[in-house]
Structure 1
Amino acid sequence: MNETRRAVLDALADGPVTGPALADALDVSRAAVWKHVEALRDDGFAVDSTDDGYVLAGVPEYGGLAVEYGLEAPFEVEYHDAVASTNDRARELAADGRRDAVVLADRQTGGRGRRDREWSSPTGGVWLSLVLRPDVPPARVPLLTLAAAVAVTDAAREAGVDAAIKWPNDVVVPRSGPDAPERGGDKLAGVLTEMEGEASRVSWVVVGVGVNANVDVADLAGDATSVRAEAGDVDRRAFVQRALERFDALRGDPGAVLAAWRERAATLGERVRVDTADGAVVGDAVDVTEHGALVVETAGGDRRVVHAGDCQHLRPVAEP
């Protein structure tokens, strides 16, 4: 958000303020104040003109400036009603040198998940990508994926959804019983992380997040659910703000990321099958490493460290 416009918005939020008072406080012309007020109105902010001055009467339901307003995290938000892929646009911003930017869209027309799988992104969801330039070695980048999963899980729980994390990048609503899906629950959200860098340094990281928020389950594919289906419609502006603030608080503290991820994990303690490029690993998921890899204890007692793969939760082996 333009810094002067942000200052105008902050002043309006504090109560009635006249145009001349704003101009003097911000050291700009009265015409500039009027232009900023009109720009805010164009972006959906309700700014009333009263005898006592301008008053902020309402904030738009969704959008870039709406999310930035009141956001307690250092992100600039670029909003699109529709975009092919927020990750694609975020990579463009990364190539232009941007940092701590968020690409947010009401819907995606070409969303994708891991391994370029199609990701349904209808209107009403939360589809966003963060552009980051972390000062960490490449081996630490997976922790950003874990931090994003924790942030989304916490925002979902605040919205009333019983959410948990399935390794490595899914937020699910756990199910039990003989008909429970093997993914470990019905999928609520996913995280897709991309990076560019060299062996010892990271140039940029893009963390894409897709959340089935105010979406009908009938519009989703596979074993999926939504915030709407679990707890009713959510204030998407507040949801995005909480997720960004939680992510910002975690991203610089690897220990806190791991502790929070373990506490919210649906996978740890479960019998799993992880399909990797070198074959399947079957056993009990017992931990996650400092680099985000899953530790699986096999039937023979060996511990296998799995860095990447498709994880399925298996039903417990019946006792003889």
Structure 2
Amino acid sequence: MNETRRAVLEAIADYDVSGAEIAERLDVTRAAVWKHVEALREEGFVIESEGDGYVLESVPEFGESAVEYGLEAPFEIEYHDSIGSTNDRAREAAGEGAENRVVLADEQTGGRGRLDREWAAPSGGVWLSAVLRPSMPPAHAPLVTLAAAVATATAARETGVDAGIKWPNDVLVPTDDGEKKLAGILTEMEGEADRVSWVVVGIGVNANIDAEELPDTATSIREQVGDVDRRTFTQRVLERLDDLLADEEAILDRWRDLALTLGRRVRVETPDGVVEGEAIDVERPGTLLVDTGTETVRVHAGDCEHLRAT
């Protein structure tokens, strides 16, 4: 959001302020103030004129300026009503030098998950990809994925959804029909031997979506607890992610607190074969420790399945 426009919003948030006062405070003309107010109105902000002053009555449900307004994290939002893939666009933005850019969409028409699986991303969800430039070696990049899963599960729990994490990054909800997927994370990276150039972390959340629009293995916030304020939810995800990335030492502990995988029998398909046993811990930067009964195997990457207790 334009910084002057943000300042205009902050000025009129709590009480009516005259255009002249705003202009003087921001060192711009009254005509410039009026143009910013009109632009905000076009974006869906309800701004009433009270005498000679302006007052903010309501904020739009979703969108670029709506999410940026009140966001307590250093992200710039790029919003699309519809896009093929937020991750694709975020990679383009990363190549253009963007940092802390979040590509956000109401729907994705070409969404994908891990292993290039198709990911349903209809209107009403929260589909975003953040361009990050963390100061870490590439070997530590899996921490970003874990942090994104923690941020998403935490925000979901704040809405009342009983969300947890399946290693490494699927956000699931235990139901009578088994665990159903609420959100997924897809992380892509470019870097050199000793440093990360950029990380794009894609987060897809089934928010205000009917169950009929989703696969049988998925669920939504709407199905679990009713509709959520997507603007506030998106802000909470981004704020939690920013907090975690500022405190890397906290990521694993927070992940363990939300893990559905630890203490469970699992089957993990890895590039080197299948590992089956009890998941006993996760260690930096996101390695799963599996007790097979004869040894403890460290799994760095793979497709994890929770097995039923026997």
Tell whether the 8 Å contact from 2:19 to 2:52 is kept in structure 1 after alignment.
no
Tell whether the 8 Å contact from 1:12 to 1:56 is kept in structure 2 after alignment.
yes
Match of 2:41 in 1: 41
Runs of 4 or more consecutive aligned structure 1 residues displaced over 4 Å after TM superposition: none
What is the TM-score normalised by the length of structure 2? 0.98
Write the deviation string for residues 190-215 of structure 1: whole angstroms up to 9, x where unpaired. Answer: 00000001111111000000000001
Task: Please state if 1:313 is matched with 2:306.
Answer: yes
Match of 2:223 in 1: 229
Q: Secondary structure at the match of 2:17?
A: coil
Match of 1:3 in 2: 3
**1:245 is matched with which residue: 239, 252, 257?**
239
Which runs of 5 or more residues in structure 2 are unaligned?
none
Match of 2:29 in 1: 29
In the TM superposition, what are the counterparts of 1:273-288 in structure 2 within 5 Å?
A: 273-288=267-282
Tell whether the 8 Å contact from 2:262 to 2:279 is kept in structure 1 after alignment.
yes
Q: Distance in 2 between matches of 1:59 and 1:86?
A: 24
**2:297 is matched with which residue: 295, 304, 316?**
304
Q: Secondary structure at the match of 2:198?
A: strand
Identity of aligned residues (%): 65
Q: What letter matches 1:273 in structure 2?
A: R
Q: Secondary structure at the match of 2:105?
A: strand
Match of 2:152 in 1: 152
Which runs of 5 or more residues in structure 1 are unaligned?
none
Q: Distance in 1 between matches of 2:219 and 2:309?
A: 24
Root-mean-square deviation (CA, aligned residues, Å) is 1.0
Deviation at 1:52, TM superposition (A): 4.4
Q: Distance in 1 between matches of 2:275 and 2:246?
A: 32
Task: Please state if 1:116 is matched with 2:110.
Answer: no
Write the deviation string for residues 23-44 of structure 1: whole angstroms up to 9, x where unpaired. Answer: 1111111111111111111111
Match of 1:267 in 2: 261
Q: Distance in 1 between matches of 2:110 and 2:215?
A: 15
Q: What letter matches 2:90 in structure 1?
A: A
Q: Distance in 1 between matches of 2:49 and 2:15?
A: 12
Match of 2:62 in 1: 62
Q: Secondary structure at the match of 1:57?
A: strand
Aligned residues: 310
Q: Distance in 1 between matches of 2:193 and 2:175?
A: 41
Q: Secondary structure at the match of 1:206?
A: strand
Q: Secondary structure at the match of 1:131?
A: strand
Q: Distance in 2 between matches of 1:93 and 1:199?
A: 22
Q: Secondary structure at the match of 1:230?
A: helix
In the TM superposition, what are the counterparts of 1:201-216 in structure 2 within 5 Å?
A: 201-216=195-210
In the TM superposition, what are the counterparts of 1:174-193 in structure 2 within 5 Å?
A: 174-175=174-175, 180=178, 185-193=179-187
Match of 1:295 in 2: 289
Q: What letter matches 2:286 in structure 1?
A: G
Q: What letter matches 1:104 in structure 2?
A: L
Q: What letter matches 2:134 in structure 1?
A: P
Tell whether the 8 Å contact from 1:214 to 1:234 is kept in structure 2 after alignment.
yes
**1:258 is matched with which residue: 252, 259, 267?**
252
Q: Distance in 2 between matches of 1:252 and 1:271?
A: 33
Q: Distance in 1 between matches of 2:43 and 2:211?
A: 31
Tell whether the 8 Å contact from 1:174 to 1:266 is kept in structure 2 after alignment.
no
Tell whether the 8 Å contact from 2:105 to 2:127 is kept in structure 1 after alignment.
yes
Match of 2:170 in 1: 170
Deviation at 1:289, TM superposition (A): 1.1
